[in-house]
Amino acid sequence: MWVIATIIAALAQTGRNAAQAGLTGQIGTIGATAVRFFFGLPFAIAFLIAMSFSQQLPVPTLLTFAWAATGATAQIAATAFMLITMRGQGFGVATALMKTEPVTLAVFGTVFLAEPLGPARFIAISICVLGVILISGASWSRANQRSVAIGIVAGALFGLSAIGFRGAILSLPEGGAVLRASIVLVIALTMQTIAMLLWMALRDRAALGAIARSWRISIAAGALGAFASLFWFIGFALTSAANVRTLALVEVLFAQAVSTRLFRQGATPRQIAGIGLVVTGVAVLIRVA
């Protein structure tokens, strides 16, 4: 079930990214990032209300809010570091550095949630990450140490955010995977919406007006974002966050397939080798998870 949930989340996130990409030129990077929280929250709340008619909602504890706050804050910070890396080194290097997330995530899971890593899982995760780095086609000759360090920190923060969300889900006293994922999603999106609203009200009020004017495509991006996040969280409820985020690397394969099919962009030998590594790593991970 966690494999299905993760693949659904990866597909939905691809659609959300496409919608957000069209918004960046209209409302700026910060505005496009905020859209996923502002317009995703109403959909998350509506889904949770619908579930409340058939199930008893567990009451979140202080630990739930603490874990959710950790995940929400780390995710916002990771996004900021990611944007800094992209400005300094370009998309290829930044993407490759972001995809080191599963490695640091596996370590965080062992330290903070006492989730056993094991040599087989670590090898599978490392194979997948290496494959994605090869697929990215990043030109490392121009990468400076500062930007590389910032990119690795961003990947680590994305990993920490996943640990925070899984910790929040596990802290709920009862309920199925979908129900607990829905509750934590609403809590996290509420925190992130408040934080982004305060920041933009103080530092970027023009972007708030631009978001309001682009509400139609923002709704689509928000809906897809909430849908993707729900299935990420369902995956976190069913297995370790490292397993989910490693399998999520298949999103790179989706992107490569689209490039080949629609844009007639053939894969280089280096990228073909990377694809083989990702497929191998995912197969090993599913077998040992």
Q: Hey, where are the domains in the chain?
A: 2-288
pLDDT at 262: 47
pLDDT of 190 reads 96
Can you give the pLDDT at residue 277? 80
CA nearest neighbour of 151 among 79, 248, 103: 79
Q: Which residue has the tokens 């199925």?
A: 176
Cα atoms found within 13 Å of the Cα of residue 175, Cβ hemisphere only? 26
CA-to-CA distance for 57 and 60, rounded, in angstroms?
A: 9
Residue segments in the chain with a per-residue pLDDT below the cut of 50:
262-263
Tell me how far apart the alpha carbons of residues 14 and 218 are, in angstroms, rounded to a whole number: 15
Give 254's Cβ-side CA count (13 Å radius): 15
Q: 143 in helix, strand or coil?
A: coil
Q: Please, are residues 93 and 143 in contact by the beta-carbon 8 Å criterion?
A: yes
Most distant CA pair in the chain, distance: 57
Please report how many Cα atoms fall inside a 13 Å half-sphere around the Cα of residue 57, on the Cβ side.
Answer: 16
pLDDT value at position 150?
73
* pLDDT given for residue 48 in this prediction: 94
Query: How does pLDDT run across 79-127, given as a tens digit for each residue?
Result: 777 766 665 555 555 566 666 777 777 777 888 887 777 788 888 888 8
The pTM of this model reads: 0.81
C-alpha 98/C-alpha 137 separation (Å) is: 14
CA 52 to centroid of chain Cα atoms: 26
The alpha carbons of the chain give a radius of gyration, in whole angstroms, of 19
Type of residue found at 71 = G
List pLDDT tens digits, range 162-187. 999 999 999 998 889 999 999 999 99
Contact 161, 184 (CB under 8 A): no
